[in-house]
Structure 1
């Protein structure tokens, strides 16, 4: 398992996923609470007997400030922390949102790329950042 972070100014997405990309948990937290939220997620995942091997942070908005938080949590847990490219992940997350929340009514006929989710998708973005990291590192689909 890895935990990925989509850093933002006001809110931050966090997602825990397996090496095959399966989502274990995701959430959106106020950015100023990231350290506590990340620590709590890490502890929950480990309590469920799932090993976490990496903490990953996207390199977009506010990453310079929040990556230091990710590094601090990773150091306490003796895990590596990494930055990964997050270009265009928000657009991908908007499409994925509709995969998990299919549009109803007339919205069913609008191409998903043209629909705008009614809520924040930072958690979906973190999930995609995690998948990108796994692909970049050649870990996607492996079992560690």
Structure 2
């Protein structure tokens, strides 16, 4: 994978959807939690001028609907489906790697700490990293939707 290529990660949900832009070497460029309603409008703002090389989509909640929307909005963008089982737990670990506990919280195991914000955007990062490592990845095509 090219380190300069960017990949869009999407962790779809009923009310909110995690989005992340990750470089080909796994470096987080940015992440956000976007409303599922009107997602494409929010996504276009999130992407700004960036053109991802592919979109990595979690295979869980609302993934089929999200796949259709993304395929219509970005017909040239390759879409890949990744098993999202356990991605939220991995995202919580990633949160504490990016934001190490400070003060007295350093004394506690991170498993006992609550993240101060939702981690849906980081779950999208986890999905891209799984794709970059070729774990449980399928390219979605129109035929595989049926």
Sort the TM-score into its range (normalised by shorter chain).
0.7 to 0.9
Contact 1:57 1:70 in 2 (8 A): no
- Which one has a larger percent helix, Structure 1 or Structure 2? 1
Task: Choose which of 28, 31, 35 in structure 2 pairs with 1:26.
Answer: 31
Q: 1:110 is matched with which residue: 84, 108, 113? A: 108
TM superposition shift of 1:45: 1.2
Q: Is 2:34–2:43's contact at 8 Å kept on the other side of the alignment?
A: no
Q: Which runs of 5+ in 1 are unaligned?
A: 47-51, 138-144
Structure 1 runs (4+) greater than 4 angstroms displaced: none
Match of 2:14 in 1: 9
Q: 1:38–1:73: 8 Å Cα contact kept in structure 2?
A: no
Residue deviations 1:2-34 (CA, integer Å, cap 9, x gap): 101010111111001111001112111111121
The count of corresponding residues between Structure 1 and Structure 2 is 130
Q: 1:106 to 1:43 in 2, by over 3 A?
A: closer
Tell me the residue number matched to 1:140. Answer: none
**TM-score normalised per structure 2:** 0.81
Unaligned runs of 5+ in 2: 1-5, 136-146
Q: Distance in 2 between matches of 1:104 and 1:58?
A: 32
- Tell me the equivalent position of 1:61: 61
Q: Distance in 2 between matches of 1:29 and 1:63?
A: 15
Quote the offset at 1:43 in angstroms.
4.1
Deviates more, 1:97-106 or 1:13-22: 97-106
Q: Deviations over 1:34-56 (max 9, x none)?
A: 1112233344214xxxxx21011
TM-score (structure 1 length as normaliser):
0.82
